With several copies, the nearest count.
Chain A
């Protein structure tokens, strides 16, 4: 596929998969306000995913999976519901089950700090569609980061149990962070062509923001893996953890049972 399409799939899949994980909180959150907030964030990310997947298909129609003749399935749905796991390009961080609320917050905090830094740079993309998607996304993700940051501090400061859970969640997520800041050849091509961002270029800024949040939470930041290079192939290459397959099976089940259906 073209570098632009491949790059849009990466950013789109990140949003789609995390949106799915967050949407699983719906009717399960600790209180109604959190339930509503997490649904909001899931909706924002879903909106970003839809725009990015549509942009990918427009940039290179060959990324659209084959469907039966006469299928009315739009591009965004063909990409979301008819690709297999190894065709997804999201970072592995987003595909894990949400875990408890502490794990959800810690992941959302790291993800939002990182994505905000990316989108802030992406508003200057040479691709006007990407630039517009980024401009819209910046406002949304800034809210996500604030929400996650506020709860990060609240849980770290709250009770012994909530602090223990936050510390455990940080420990669990640690090895999944390096991937966020490792430049993939597609991202390198996107930089070369002026429409994309090297994630490594956001590392210093993200580091600073995360440091501030850890300080506000009076938490010791664990030995930093953000700059550690990834040895093995990553989610960007279609290599995923065991969590993605079952998630996609569920997500795609109705769409795949009716490949010529209208919804």
Chain B
């Protein structure tokens, strides 16, 4: 029908779909799933770094870290707002999250046992996220694309701060240098997994690319991330734990080893080191805050009533 043609025309000319536009139900559903997953990742992602706010080793780092985790809350807020334009509510999505019915990025199921992890998350995890997200600034759904523009700007700021923390630590004591290397060893493979399974095992990619929701394949983004990160690691003075990592002049890219996809799927299925803990934390905050949200609603109703 005409609606479908109109929709496909907008997609074809790389224009934005807006909330008032008609869209196929599957497109809407896929978008909600993807944006919600992204919003949940921001919110869950507050935890592994947030745990270090009270232990940041300098007041300057404490301020940087607190502001960063606060930005993540802000990102969650924009993204939940984007899903609301598709007819959902933040509360519904939060409930889906804490009941385990919607996912978030598996990277946040890895623990952060050292302060160097704050830097590594900034450098590698935010770095990988940016590779994933920059193309989404051109995504076909307007509110999502605009949220992504703002988010990407802040993320690259966070990435630079993370890198700068690691660089400072690498100029510090031998112990600090060892902390950085140990942290990078733990996060390198999980960061590579952030791009998702190999293209052959990623059945939704084709449809998402056709709809302009996704712009690049998992493997292409992963390669781009590796190519970007290796020189940065050299500049820092750290290595990645991959014996197969080397420059391939023929391909004009770095070759690298295969992530442990068994571990990936195991973490996705809920068996990572921190899955339970992350969800429990969120659930506790949500449950503990219920009385406040109820009070705010009740107060607003009374104010309206008094206003007559």
Contact = CB atoms under 8 A, between A and B. Distances in A.
Q: Do chains A and B touch in the complex (CB under 8 A)?
A: yes
Interface of A: 16, 20, 23-24, 26-36, 39-40, 42-43, 46-47, 49-50, 53, 73-74, 76-77, 80-81, 85-86, 92, 96, 100-101, 153-155, 157-159, 161-162, 165, 171-172, 175, 231-232, 239-242, 244-246, 249-251, 253-255, 258, 260-263
A29 B288 CA distance: 8
Given A26-B53, A39-B69, A263-B165, A49 B59 contact: yes
Contact of A154 (B54, B56, B171, B295): B295
A261 B289 contact: no
A76 B57 CA distance: 11
A161 B288 CA distance: 13
A263 B275 contact: no
Contact of B54 (A47, A165, A251, A263): A251
Given A46-B66, A158-B298, A175 B271 contact: yes
A68 to B, nearest CB: 11
24 contacts: A23-B53, A23-B66, A27-B47, A27-B281, A28-B281, A30-B285, A33-B77, A34-B292, A73-B58, A80-B59, A100-B288, A158-B298, A161-B291, A162-B292, A232-B273, A240-B111, A255-B57, A255-B58, A258-B57, A258-B176, A261-B173, A261-B175, A263-B58, A263-B172
B192 to A, nearest CB: 15
From A30, A40, A244, residue with most partner B Cβ within 10 Å:
A30
Contacts of B54: 20, 23-24, 250-251
B304 to A, nearest CB: 12
The 3 closest A-B pairs by CB, nearest first: A30-B289, A158-B295, A162-B295
Nearest to B279: A172
Given A30-B288, A101-B289, 10 more contacts: A26-B46, A28-B281, A29-B289, A30-B289, A32-B77, A49-B59, A76-B59, A242-B274, A261-B175, A263-B168
Interface of B: 43, 46-48, 50-51, 53-63, 66-67, 69-70, 73-74, 76-77, 80, 90, 111-115, 165, 168-169, 171-173, 175-176, 182, 260, 262-263, 266, 270-271, 273-277, 280-281, 284-285, 288-299, 302
